[in-house]
Amino acid sequence: MRHLLLGIVACSLLGILRPAFADAPAGPMEEAFTELFAFPLSPGAAVVPLPRFDDDGGTRVLQEVTLRVESRISAAVTVENESALPAPAVTLNLTGLLTVDLRGLSTLIAANATAASPPLGASDGIDGSGPDFFDFGTVVADGTDTAAIMSGLDAFIGPGTLDAVAFGSGSFALSGTAATSVMVSNFMASGKVTVVYRYRLVPTGACCFSDGSCVLTTDANCVAAGGVYQGEATDCGVVACPQPGACCFPDGSCVAAAGIGGDDCTAAGGVYQGDDTDCAGVACPQPGACCFADGSCALAGVIGGADCVTAGGVYQGNDSDCATVACPQPGACCFPDGSCALAASIGGAGCVAGGGVYQGNDTTCVAAVCPQPGACCFRDGTCTVGGLIGGGDCTAAGGSYQGDDSTCGAAACPQPGACCLPDGSCAPGGLIGGGDCVGAGGTYQGDGTDCAAVDCPQPPGACCFVDGSCTAVTEEACVVGGGVFQGDGTPCGAAACPQPGACCLADGSCVPAAVLGGADCIGAGGVYQGDATTCAAVACPQPAGACCFDDGTCAELTDDDCGAAGGDFQGAFTTCGAAGCTQPGACCLADGSCVLAPATGGAECTAGGGVYQGDDTDCAGVTCVMPGACCLPDGSCVAATVIGGGDCVVAGGVYQGDDTNCGAAACAQPGGCCLSDGTCVTATILGGGDCIGAGGVYQGDDTSCGAVVCPQPGVCCLPDGTCVTATILGGGDCVVAGGVYQGDDTDCGVVVCPQPGACCLPDGTCVTAAALGGGACTTGGGVYQGDGTTCAATACPQPMGACCLTDGGCTLITEADCIPLGGDYQGAFTTCGTVGCPQPGACCLPDGSCVTAATTGGGDCVAGGGVYQGDDTNCVTIDCPPPTGACCFPDGSCELFTEDDCFAVGGLYLGDFVVCTTLGGPCPIPGACCQPDGTCVAAAVVGGADCTAGGGVYQGDDTDCGVVACPLPLGACCFADATCSDETAPDCVAAGGDFQGDGTTCGTLNCFGACCFADGMCELSTLERCNQFAGVYQGHGVLCTPDPCPEPVGACCLGDGCVVQSIGDCVVMGGTYEGHGTDCTSCGIPGGACCFPDGSCGEGTEDDCIAAGGLYQGDDTDCGVVACAIAVACCFSDGVCLMVMPEDCGEMAGVAQADGVDCGSDPCPPPAGACCLPDGTCTEVVGDECVTTGGVFAGPGTACTAGTCPCTADVDGSGDVGFGDIVTVISAWGICPGCPQDIDGSGDVGFTDMLWVLMAWGTCP
C-alpha cells in the first residue's frame, strides 16, 4: 500500500527592494521592485507586499506597469520497495499550478518535472537505506509568466504597498511499480514577484523660498508653492538663496525673521536688521530698571519703560539695572489694635486708609511705639484683652472696658451664680444677674453663689406600691418606702398603679393574688396569670391523662382534648409511660419489600396491595415473597420489580419465577452479523433483526465474530494508475470513481494497474500525465508520449530566453547556458529587446557627493565607504544626504543634524562631523531661577526668558539651584502676646511665632482671636492665654460675634429614655440634665462595646452604636474584653467583590479572602465562559483571553456544548474548509466590513483571513 507523508516547512516572506532608474532622463525610464515568496503545498497561498510607484511630487509620470512572476514547485522525495521481489525503476512526475494577482494584473503558471530511480532491490526490512531505497533529492518544476497594463494606473501610484496574492497547488504521481512506499517532505511553492514601473521624467531645477530654503522641483510646483524658480538643471548646492535676517524686539530680544524682507518681524513690532544679518552680529537696545511704590525694583519689559509707567513705576532709563538703582522704601504704620506693620507703599496712603498712623518713609516697627488695647469684662464673668484702643469692640460686644493698657490679670470681673430649676436640680448660671436662669423657669440664687452651697426644694408626685395602692410623696420617700415614683407633680388620681392578678391552683380552681408578681400564689403551688388579670377572664388548665392513638402514639391530654383528637383517654393523671398502647404491624408489598403500616388494623396496607401481618408485628420477624429473574431480548438478565413478573412480560422478557435470580438463570445471546464492507459485528437482539435491517447476513443466535469468516471487498484500478481497495463488496464505489473493479478478495499487492505516460510541455520540461491517455497533457499544450512512457527516457526540446550579464549586457541563450556565465535568466521566450537588464547605479560618498558605481550591486561603492543607491539609479536624480554635526538647542540639549535641519528647528550648528558626546557638553545649559516665593527651579531655556516671564529672577546660564541662594518672601508673624512682626517663615518659626503666609502683613491681621471653653463660653484672647485656661483657640482675627463656640451637651434623662442635648434644650424637653460631657449611661440606660467594620471598638448605648454603623456586643460588655472582627474581601461566582464580615461572606455563598486583602486589589477572578474560534472549535477561557486570540466570547459561565460555535472559516458553506473557501476569500480581497470572508472581523479581507482558512483546513468540527 502506498503511503504519503507531506512535511510542511514554515517559510517567512522575504523581500528584496531594487529601485531602478534609466540613465537617459530624456526618454522612458524603468523602476523595478522584487519580493520573494514561499509557502507549503497543497494548496497554499501567500500575500506579497510590493511598493507603490512614487511620482516624486509630480516629477515622474507613470506610463506602464509590468508584473513578472518566476515560480518553482519543489519537494524532497524518497521511495522504498516494500516487496520481497526486486522492483523496476520508479518514475516520479511532479506538477504544479501557480497564480499571482495584482490590481488587474494576473499571471498563470503550469509547471511540471519528472525524475526516475534505478531498479530497486528486494525489501531488506530496514526503512530509509539499502538497495531497496532511493532518494530523488529535491525535485523541482519551474515556470514564468508576465502581464502588463498601460491604462488605469492611478491605483499603483502613492505611498505604501500593494498586496499581490499568490495561490498555488501541486501534486505528484509514481509509475513503474505498485509495491513501493513514497515519502514526500518540504512540498513547497516558491519564487519571486517583480513589478516594473515604466515612466518618464519632468525637468527640474532649484527653487528658492522666502524662508531661505531651497528644494529641487519642477517649475510649476515651485511657482505653486510660492517659490522662485532658478531655471532647469540648476542645483540647490550651487544656487545661493537669500536668507532672512535678524529682528530686534522692544523687550531687547533678537530672533531670526521667518522670511526675507522681514515682514513678519515688522508685523510683530520688531525692527528688521536686513537680509543675511544674524543676531550674533546685531546689538539690540535693552530695557532698564523700574522703581515701584512698594520699594521693589524690576526690569521693564520694553525699552523706553512704557510698561513701567503704566504699572505706576518710575523708569530709571534704558540699560539701567536694579543692582545700581536705589528705590525709596515704605515706613512703619501703627494700627488701632496696637500692632505695627510696614506700609505697602511709600507715603503710607494705604496705612492711613486702613485707620493707621503712618510713621514716615524708611521708618521701622522696631523704632515705632504704638499704644495697646486694654482688658474687657463680659456678663459671663470672663475677661479678654480688647481688640481696639478705646475699647469700642469691647462695648459693642456687651463688655465693660477697663481702659487702654489694662490687663485681665489686674481686672476683677463679677461672676454668675447658682440656678435652682423646677425639677429641684441646680445648675450654674450663664450670665450675671441670672437672666438665663429665670428664662429657663429657675430661681436665681445671686451672683457669686454656687450649687455646692445651695439646697434646692424637691417636688412631690404619685408613688405606687406592690399591693396596688397609691400615695403622693417625694421621689426619695417613695423609693425608701419600696414604691415606684410616677414623676414630679403627678397626682394619684391620674396614676394608673398596677393591681395583683388571678392565680390558678393545681386542682384547676382560681383565686385572686394578694401582691403584684403573685409571690403568694406561687408559694401556694399555683400558677400566677399576671398583674391586672381576673378569675372571671382566666381559664385555668384542667388535669391531664394518657391518650392512645391509632398510629400507636401516646400523648398526655385532658379528656376533652383526647376525644376531640380521636384518641382513647386512659384516665386522669395516668401517664404514657404506664399506658400500653396497641402498635401498627408489618405490611408485605408487591415488590417484596416490607414496611410498617401507618395505623392499627392495616387498612392502608391492604388498600395499597399489600398483605397485613397483624398488629404488634414488625418487618424483622416477617418473611415476604421476592420478585424473580427476567431474560430480555438482548440476552441480558435483570431482576423483575413485582411478584409474578408482570413488568418483565411487558418489556418483552421471559419471567423465570418468584424468588429466582440472574446468577442462576441462563439467557440466550444474539449472534454474529456479516456487513457489506466485510466486517463482522455482534447483533443486539435475538434473531438478528437489526443485522438484517442494516443489510447484513445473520449467522444465528449464540454465534460469534471470532468463529465467522465474512467475504472482503477487492481492489480498484483508478485512471491515474493508482490501486486502492474498494469499500464495499462488488466494487460499486470503484465504478462510481471511474475505476475498474478487480473482484472481491483481490489485493493491490497482486494486481498490476496500467500507468499514465510522459508529457513534454512548451517550456521544455517533462511531466508525467495525470491520467491514462494524456488528455490533460494535450489540453495544456503538451505532447503526450504514450501510456507507460517516462520522462527519464524522453528528451524534450528546451526554450531560449534573455540572459542579463553582470556588466549590464544581454544575450539570448538557454537557462542552462546563462547560469554558468553568472547571468540572470529572464525566462523562456523572453528577448533582449523586451527585457531591461539592470545597470550600475549611483553611489553616495561620506562627504555628500555622488559618483556612478563601476559594477551592478555596488560592491566597489560599499568598499569605498559609500552607500549604494541601487542598480539603474543615477547621480542626476539621487539626492545624497549632506554630513551632520552637533546642533545646540535652547533647552541645553544637543543632537546630530545637518546644518540646514539644525537651522530649521531653531538650533545652533557647531560644524560638520562634530559629535555631541565628544565635546564634553559644548551647549550652554539653562540656569537657576529664583521664584517670588523664594523657591528655586531650573529655567526651561537658555537666557531664562521663561523665568523672567513667570516673575522670577534668572541667575544666569549654567547656574544650579544647589548653589544659588534665593531670598525668601516676608509675611506676618503673630506671637503669643498678640504682637506681630513681618518676617520670613523660617525666622518666624525660629522666634516662636505663628507664620501667617507669604505676602501677608501685620497691617491687615489681628494676632488675637476667639477662645472657646468647655462650658461653651467664648472670649477674645491671645493664643497663650487660651491655652493657659484649657480653651480651644479659633484662630487669629476670629471674633466671638457671631459665636464660633459649640454649645456643650450632656445626657438628658427623660421619662421614656435619654437623649444627648444642651442644658437649655433638655429643660425645654422636661428632662434632667446630668452635666456637660455625660452620656446616657448616667440615666441608667445600659451600654456596652460597639464593633465597627474597620475592627475598631467604641463604647456606648445600643442605639448610639447602631446609628454609628456599628455592631452592638451586648449590655455591660467593654472594648477591653471584646475582640472585633475586621471586614474581609468576599468573592462571588460572578466575579463581584464585596467587603463584609467573615461570617456574612459564608452565609451569602461567597469565598472569603485572606486578612488584609481588599476589593480595591481586584482579588476575584472573572468566571470563564465559552469562546468560539473561527475554525468552529470552542474553548472555555475568560473574556479577555478569548478576544486576544481572535475569538467571540459567549459570556461568563457559558459552556462549550455541541453546536455552540459556528465554523466561520467555512465561508462557502460547504461543510468543510478547503480550496473553495480560499477562492471565496480572494474574491472579496480588500475593504469589506461585515463580509463573511472577513473572518477576523477587522473590517477588511486580507492575509490573516487567509491564514484562518489554512489553519482550519479540513472538515468543520
Single-letter amino acid, residue 448 = G
The SS3 call for residue 1076 is strand
Q: How far apart are CA 1245 and CA 1233, in angstroms?
A: 8
Residue 482: in which H helix or E strand, if any? none
Q: Residue 377 in contact with residue 413, Cβ under 8 Å?
A: yes
pLDDT band at 1204 (very low <50, low <70, confident <90, very high): confident
Q: How far apart are CA 1232 and CA 1245, in angstroms?
A: 6
* Runs of H (alpha helix) within 795-898: 815-818, 859-863
Mean pLDDT computed over 933-941:
88
What pLDDT is stored for residue 515 in this prediction? Answer: 86
Q: Which of 425, 416, 420, 422 is nearest to 444 (CA)?
A: 420
What pLDDT is stored for residue 8 in this prediction? Answer: 27
Mean pLDDT computed over 662-691:
87
Exposed e or buried b for every residue in 30-56, given b needs 16+ CB within 10 A? bbbbbbbbbbbbbbbbbbbebbbbbee
23, pLDDT greater than 60: no
Q: Residue 162 in contact with residue 153, Cβ under 8 Å?
A: no
481, pLDDT greater than 70: yes
796 φ/ψ angles, rounded to the nearest 5 degrees: -90, 140
What pLDDT is stored for residue 17 in this prediction? Answer: 28
Single-letter amino acid, residue 257 = A
pLDDT digits (tens, 9 = 90+) for 832-878: 888 888 988 999 988 788 988 888 888 889 998 899 999 889 888 88
Mean pLDDT computed over 1066-1088:
81
The SS3 call for residue 1052 is strand
Strands 629-631 and 637-639: antiparallel
What pLDDT is stored for residue 266 in this prediction? Answer: 93
What pLDDT is stored for residue 7 in this prediction? Answer: 28
Planar angle of CA 1078, 1084, 1088, nearest 5 degrees:
75
Q: Residue 195 in contact with residue 49, Cβ under 8 Å?
A: no
Q: Residue 1209 in contact with residue 1173, Cβ under 8 Å?
A: no
> Phi-psi bin for 1047: left (phi > 0), alpha (psi -120 to 50), beta?
beta
Q: Is the dihedral of CA 1240, 1243, 1245, 1246 positive or negative?
A: negative
1028 φ/ψ angles, rounded to the nearest 5 degrees: -65, -35
pLDDT band at 11 (very low <50, low <70, confident <90, very high): very low
350, pLDDT greater than 50: yes
Total residues found in the chain within this entry: 1261
Q: From the centroid of its chain, how far is CA 44?
A: 38
Q: Which residues pair with 511 in a beta bridge?
A: 503
pLDDT band at 6 (very low <50, low <70, confident <90, very high): very low
Residue 732: in which H helix or E strand, if any? helix 732-736
689, pLDDT greater than 90: no
**Mean confidence (pLDDT) of the chain:** 85
Burial of 1077 (0-12, 13-18, 19+ CB in 10 A): exposed
The SS3 call for residue 690 is helix
pLDDT digits (tens, 9 = 90+) for 407-447: 888 877 888 899 998 878 898 888 888 888 988 888 888 88
Mean pLDDT computed over 779-802:
87
What pLDDT is stored for residue 33 in this prediction? Answer: 96
Q: In this structure, what C-alpha cell is assigned to residue 809?
A: 549586457
What pLDDT is stored for residue 4 in this prediction? Answer: 29
* Runs of H (alpha helix) within 917-961: 945-949
Residue 1048 gets which letter from DSSP?
P
pLDDT band at 918 (very low <50, low <70, confident <90, very high): low
Residue 848 gets which letter from DSSP?
S
Q: In this structure, what C-alpha cell is assigned to residue 639?
A: 431482576
Q: How far apart are CA 902 and CA 915, in angstroms?
A: 14
The SS3 call for residue 133 is strand
Residues 6+ apart with CB under 8 A from 323: none
Distances (CA, A) of 1240 to 395, 1188, 1206, 1244: 87, 11, 14, 9
Domain extent listing, the chain = 6-202, 203-236, 246-315, 460-497, 499-541, 542-579, 759-799, 839-877, 885-918, 1047-1085
Exposed e or buried b for every residue in 865-893, given b needs 16+ CB within 10 A? ebebbbbbbbbebbebeeebbbbbbbebe
pLDDT band at 219 (very low <50, low <70, confident <90, very high): confident
Q: Which of 812, 896, 882, 816 is nearest to 848 (CA)?
A: 882
pLDDT digits (tens, 9 = 90+) for 88-131: 888 988 888 999 999 889 999 999 999 999 998 888 888 888 99
Q: Residue 38 in contact with residue 54, Cβ under 8 Å?
A: no
What pLDDT is stored for residue 659 in this prediction? Answer: 83
> What is the percent of the chain with per-residue pLDDT over 90, rounded to a whole number?
15
Angle separating helix axes 1247-1255 and 1219-1227, nearest 10 degrees:
170
> Phi-psi bin for 598: left (phi > 0), alpha (psi -120 to 50), beta?
alpha
Q: Which of 537, 535, 519, 540 is nearest to 467 (CA)?
A: 519
Q: Residue 92 in contact with residue 115, Cβ under 8 Å?
A: yes
Cis peptide before 42 (omega within 30 of 0): yes
Q: How far apart are CA 531 and CA 497, in angstroms?
A: 11
CA atoms within 13 A on the CB side of 983: 19
Single-letter amino acid, residue 127 = D
pLDDT digits (tens, 9 = 90+) for 1000-1036: 888 777 787 889 987 788 887 777 778 877 888 888 8
Residues 6+ apart with CB under 8 A from 1156: none
Placement of cell 528584496 in the chain: 16
Q: How far apart are CA 1079 and CA 1067, in angstroms?
A: 16
End-to-end CA distance of the chain: 29
What pLDDT is stored for residue 858 in this prediction? Answer: 87
Q: Residue 450 in contact with residue 419, Cβ under 8 Å?
A: no
Residue 304: how many other CB atoms lie within 10 Å: 15
